Homo-oligomer: A and B are copies of this chain.
Amino acid sequence: MNSPTIVADALRRPFPDVLASALRDRFGERFSTAAAVREHHGRDESPFPPTPPDAVVFAHSTDDVAETVRLCRAHRVPVIAYGVGSSLEGHLLAVRGGVSIDLSQMNRVLAVQPEDLTATVQAGVTRVQLNDELKGTGFFFPIDPGANASLGGMAATRASGTNAVRYGTMRENVLGLTVVTAEGKVIRTAGRAKKSSAGYDLTRLFVGSEGTLGIITEVTVRLYPVPEAMSAAVVNFPGLASAIDAVIQIIQMGVPVARCEYVCDRTIRAINAHSHTTLREAHTLFFEFHGSESSVHEQAELAQQISREHGGEDFEWATRPEDRTRLWNARHNVYFAGLQVRPGARAITTDTCVPISRLSESITGARRILDTASFPTLIVGHVGDGNFHSMLLVDPDDEAEMAQAERLNDEIVRLALSMDGTCTGEHGVGLHKMGFLQEEAGEDAIELMRRIKRAFDPDDILNPGKIFRS
Residues of A whose CB lies within 8 Å of any CB of B are: 113-118, 157-160, 164, 168-169, 171-172, 181, 185-202, 204-205, 207-209, 213, 224-225, 227, 248, 251-254, 291-292, 294-295, 298, 351, 353-358, 385-387, 416-417, 420-429, 433, 436-437, 440-442, 444-446, 448-449, 451-452, 454-456, 467-468
Chain B residues, CB < 8 A from A356:
115-117, 194
Contact B353 A194 (CB under 8 A): yes
Q: Which residue of B lies closest to A423 (CB)?
A: B198
Contact A456 B445 (CB under 8 A): no
* Given A168-B172, A187-B448, A420-B191: A355 and B118 interface contact (C-beta under 8 Å): yes
Q: Which residue of B lies closest to A164 (CB)?
A: B195
Q: Which residue of B lies closest to A458 (CB)?
A: B451
* Given A355-B192, A445-B188: A428 and B160 interface contact (C-beta under 8 Å): no
**Once the chains are docked, how many angstroms separate the CA of A156 from the CA of B191?**
21
Chain B residues, CB < 8 A from A254:
224-225, 227
* Given A172-B168, A181-B448: A194 and B456 interface contact (C-beta under 8 Å): no
Q: Which residue of B lies closest to A254 (CB)?
A: B225
Copies of this polypeptide in the complex: 2
Q: Which residue of B lies closest to A354 (CB)?
A: B193
Contact A113 B357 (CB under 8 A): yes
Given pairs A185-B444, A195-B425, A199-B445, 19 additional interface contacts (CB within 8 A):
A115-B356, A117-B356, A158-B201, A159-B197, A164-B195, A187-B444, A196-B353, A197-B425, A198-B429, A199-B208, A199-B429, A199-B446, A201-B201, A201-B207, A202-B441, A202-B449, A292-B298, A295-B295, A454-B455
Contact A428 B202 (CB under 8 A): no
Contact A357 B115 (CB under 8 A): yes
* Given A168-B172, A254-B225: A192 and B113 interface contact (C-beta under 8 Å): no
Chain B residues, CB < 8 A from A354:
193
Chain B residues, CB < 8 A from A159:
197
**Once the chains are docked, how many angstroms separate the CA of A37 from the CA of B424?**
47
Contact B442 A448 (CB under 8 A): no
* Given A172-B168, A181-B448: A422 and B198 interface contact (C-beta under 8 Å): yes
Contact A422 B196 (CB under 8 A): yes
**Once the chains are docked, how many angstroms separate the CA of A371 from the CA of B424?**
53
